[in-house]
Structure 1
Amino acid sequence: MEDRYAFLTEWLDPTAALLRRYQLFFYPKDSSVEMYDVKNQRVFLRRTRYEQLQPEDLFLGNRVTVFSRQLHLLEYGDQYTAKHLGSRKERTLALIKPDAVSRLGDVLEQISSSNLLVTKAKMTTLSWTQAEDFYVEHHSKPFYNSLVQFLSSGPVVALELMGDEAVSGWRRLLGPVDSSTARKEAPQSIRAQLGTDSVKNVGHSSDSLAAAARELEFFFPSAGGHGPSNTAVFSNCTCCIIKPHAVAQGLTGKILNSISGAGFQMSALQMFNVDRANAEEFYEVYKGVVPEYPDMVAELCSGPCMVLEIHGADAAQAFRAFCGPADPEISRHLRPSSLRALYGRDMVKNAVHCTDLPEDGLLEVQYFFRLLDG
C-alpha cells in the first residue's frame, strides 16, 4: 500500500463567508494531493502533483495553502496519519525573559537549527500579578519573589514550539537552570552562552506536557480569550512583516539580528496567520498599481508571518531605506547590506514588507496589533 496521510481541514470561503470542510490527502511518494468535499460527499480535487506542500507542513493547527486555498488542519483523518505524524509531536512554551529579549534573534536561530518550529509568538509585558499567576507552583520557594520581580521587569517573548519531543528538546537546548552550571555541564546550551545566573537565565521551559499545555493556555488562550496584551506603542512607528517564505526558511532569527544590529528598536512582535480577505485588505493600496499584487496577497496568506512594530524618530523612512528596493536583485546592486538584498529571492518573496509612506506607519501597525490582535 502506498503511504497516504489524511487530515480534516477547514477553509473560509470569502465569497460565501462560509467555513467549508474538506478531507485533504497527501501522498509523499510524489508530493501529490487530493481533496474531498465533506458536506457534498464528492471529490473536490482529483489527485494532483503539488510540490509546494511538504510533509513537515502537516501538523495539527497549521495552515497550508493548496492552489490558493488556505486550509486549517483540524484533525487527523485516520489512525495511520495520527500514528505516523502525531505520535512524537509535542507543543511546549519557550518564554524568553527580559534579559534575553535583545538576543531573541540568536535564540530563534538556535531553535530553528534544532528542528523545532515556532508556531506562535508574542512580545508582552507581564504585571506583577500576572507573573505571580504564571509562577504559582513556585510560591513556597525562596527565590519566588526575585523570579516574579524579574519576569515583570520588562518585555518578554512567549513562543509556542512544536516538534518531535519538543518539551525535552527545548529544555535540553536551553540548558541547566543556573547559567554558571550550564557553562560547566552544557557549554553549547543557550543559558551557557547568554545567561547570567539562575534568575537571569534567558528563558523558561515547561517541565512536562501537562505544564506545557497549562502555560501555553496562559499566553495563547484557546477558547476565545486574549491573553496578555501586546507591547505596541502606536507612536513614532512603522510596520515590518517578515514574510511567510522567510519564516518557513528559518530566516526570522537572522533578520531580527540584522534589524537590531542596525540600531532599530523592535517595540512589538507577534506571529500572525493572515487569511486571504485580510491580506487583500492590507495590500489594497497596491491593487491595480503593481502587477505583483495577486502574488503578494497569495504570499502573505501562505503561512505564518512575523510582524514587528519598529519604534523611533523617523522610523518609517529610515527603516524603508534599510529594507532596500522591492526587487532583491536591484537591492543587491544598490544596497547590498539591506534586508532584501541579504534575504530576498524575488519581487514577491523579498523577505520583508515595510511601510512605504511615513503617514501609513501607524495605520499598518494598528491593522495588526489592534485589529487582528483584537
Structure 2
Amino acid sequence: MSKEERFAFLTEWYDSTAALQRRYQLMYYPKDGSVEMFDVKNQRTFLRRTVYDDIQQDDLFLGNRVTVFSRQLHLIEYADQYTANKLGIKKERTLAILKPDVVTKIGDFLELIYSSNLIVTKAKMSCLTCNQAADFYAEHQSKPFFNNLVQYVSSGPLVAMELMGTDAVSAWRRLLGPTDSPTRRESPQNVRSQMGAEGIKNVGHGSDSLAAAARELEFFFPSTVGLGPGNTARCTDCTCCIIKPHAMSEGLAGKILNSISKAGFEITALQMFHVERANAEEFLEVYKGVVTEYSCMVSELCSGPCMVLEIHGNDVPKRFREFCGPADPEIARHLYPTTLRALYGKTKVRNAVHCTDLPEDGVLEVKYFFTILDG
C-alpha cells in the first residue's frame, strides 16, 4: 500500500500573550485537506489531524502566512526533503513593474497574472524619485535612452509586485513580450504588442534572471523596515478599501479593481499587507460589541494577505460605501445587485471588501495602514 501524500513545513507563530516566538511543524494532507501541528519545543502533538478547508495546497510556499484556528503561521522552512522536492522545485520569485502609463489597468494585469498560474505575494504603488529610478536602472547608465527612461519611470506612480510561481522569471517576461518593436510584431500574443507600447514606454519591467530578481525585489521590498520607495497615500479626501484575504485567495482582486475603476473611483494608493491578529483587533475595534461577527471579522482579516486601497475624491467615503453595498451579500444581491459585495461576496464576514463606514474615519483608516503599518 502506498503511503499517503503529506507536505510538512516548519512554521513560526508569535504568541503575543507570552511575548514568545513559538515553532510548530505543520503537516498538510492534500487527499482530504486536513492539517496537523506538532509543537517543536515541547515535542508533542499540538493539533491532531483535522480537516481544515481554509488552507489550500497553493497557499503552501516559503514566506507565506497561513492561519490555522486563529494562529497565523509563518512558513519558514520545508520540514522534509519530499516537500522541498515536490513544492519547491522550479518555484521562483521575480519582480514585476507596471509603469506609469498602465497603472490604471492593474486589474487587467492581475487577472492575466493569476490566469498564468503566478501568484502575487507582494504589491505596492510607489512614486520613484529621479535618483531612485537612476539607481534602479544603473546598468543602463551608458545607454542613450537612460535619461528618458529615468524621467519616464519617475513621472508618476508605478506598481511593483513580487510574483511567485513555476519559472516565474521567464513566465512574466513571456507575458510582457519582447522589448523591441520589430520582434514584438512577430509574436503578437503578448501585452506589449496588444497595448501598442513603444520605446521606453513598454508597459512593464521584469527581472531577467534569478540574481536580478533578488536584487530588484530587495530594492522595492527591502528586508530592513523603513527603507525602499514609499507608498503613494495622500491621506486627504479619501476612504479605505480592503480586498479581504478570501477574495485574494479566490483570485478576485483583478475583477474587484476593475469594477472600482469602471465606477469612476480613483485609486491613489495600493499595497498588500499580512495583518497580525493584534492589528486586526485594533483596526476593527469600532465593531467590537456592535456586531456579532466581530471575532470572525478579525480572523478573516488576518487569515492571509489582503490588498489595501486608498480611494480619493470628493465625498468619497459615502459614495464608495454605497458602491460596496450592504455587509450581507445576500441582501446586497436582492437590493443592490451591481455592488461589490453583491458581485463578489460570500457571507457577512467573507463579503469581499471592507470599506470605511463613517465618513470621518476615512483618513484615519488609510493612515492606519499606509502610515502606521507601513512605517
Scaled by the length of structure 1, the TM-score of the pair is 0.97
Q: Which residue of 1 aligns with 2:248?
A: 247
The 1:339/1:17 distance shift into structure 2, 3 A limit, reads same
Q: Which amino acid aligns with 1:278?
A: N
Percent of paired sites with the same residue = 72
1:244/1:299 contact within 8 Å kept: yes
Q: Which residue of 1 aligns with 2:197?
A: 196
SS in 2 for 1:131: helix
**Counterparts of 1:42 and 1:140, CA distance in 2:** 60
**Counterparts of 2:120 and 2:69, CA distance in 1:** 24
Q: Which amino acid aligns with 1:194?
A: M
Q: Which residue of 2 aligns with 1:317?
A: 318
**Counterparts of 1:356 and 1:22, CA distance in 2:** 38
Could you tell me how far 1:187 is from its partner in structure 2?
A: 2.3
Q: Which amino acid aligns with 1:77?
A: A
Q: Which residue of 2 aligns with 1:155?
A: 157
Q: Which residue of 2 aligns with 1:110?
A: 112
Q: Which residue of 1 aligns with 2:293?
A: 292
Q: Which amino acid aligns with 2:193?
A: A
Q: Which residue of 2 aligns with 1:339?
A: 340
1:122/1:269 contact within 8 Å kept: yes
**Counterparts of 1:315 and 1:293, CA distance in 2:** 25
The 1:336/1:217 distance shift into structure 2, 3 A limit, reads same
SS in 1 for 2:101: coil
Q: Which residue of 2 aligns with 1:77?
A: 79
Does the alignment pair 1:273 with 2:289? no
Q: Which amino acid aligns with 1:294?
A: S
Runs in 1 of length 4+ with deviation above 6 angstroms? Answer: none
SS in 1 for 2:372: helix
**Counterparts of 2:252 and 2:326, CA distance in 1:** 19
1:68-217 matches, cutoff 5 A:
68-178=70-180, 181-182=183-184, 184-217=185-218
1:19 to 1, 18, 21: 21
Q: Which amino acid aligns with 1:174?
A: L
Q: Which residue of 1 aligns with 2:265?
A: 264
SS in 2 for 1:191: helix
Could you tell me how far 1:180 is from its partner in structure 2?
A: 6.3
Q: Which amino acid aligns with 2:149?
A: L
Q: Which amino acid aligns with 1:339?
A: L
Scaled by the length of structure 2, the TM-score of the pair is 0.97
CA RMSD of aligned residues (A): 1.2
Q: Which amino acid aligns with 2:131?
A: T
SS in 1 for 2:100: coil
1:195/1:202 contact within 8 Å kept: no
Could you tell me how far 1:181 is from its partner in structure 2?
A: 4.2
Q: Which residue of 2 aligns with 1:358?
A: 359
Query: Deviation string for 1:164-218 (max 9, x for gaps)?
Result: 1100000001111135643x23323111222420211110000000000000000
**Counterparts of 1:225 and 1:309, CA distance in 2:** 20
Query: Deviation string for 1:283-338 (max 9, x for gaps)?
Result: 10101110111111111011100000011111111111111111111111221111
Gaps of 5+ in 1: none
**Counterparts of 1:274 and 1:87, CA distance in 2:** 29
Query: Deviation string for 1:84-139 (max 9, x for gaps)?
Result: 11011000000110010011111111001101000000000000000000001111
1:8/1:24 contact within 8 Å kept: yes
Q: Which amino acid aligns with 2:300?
A: E
The 1:180/1:156 distance shift into structure 2, 3 A limit, reads farther
Q: Which amino acid aligns with 2:245?
A: P
Gaps of 5+ in 2: none
Question: 186-195 or 266-275: which moved more?
Answer: 186-195
**Counterparts of 2:187 and 2:107, CA distance in 1:** 21
SS in 1 for 2:22: strand
Query: Deviation string for 1:254-304 (max 9, x for gaps)?
Result: 111111111111110000000111111111010111011111111101110
**Counterparts of 1:190 and 1:267, CA distance in 2:** 24
The 1:179/1:240 distance shift into structure 2, 3 A limit, reads farther
Question: 218-227 or 108-117: which moved more?
Answer: 218-227
Size of the alignment, in residue pairs? 373
SS in 2 for 1:100: helix
1:108/1:252 contact within 8 Å kept: yes
Q: Which amino acid aligns with 2:198?
A: D
Does the alignment pair 1:304 with 2:305? yes
Query: Deviation string for 1:30-51 (max 9, x for gaps)?
Result: 2221111111121111222223
1:180/1:192 contact within 8 Å kept: no
SS in 2 for 1:154: coil
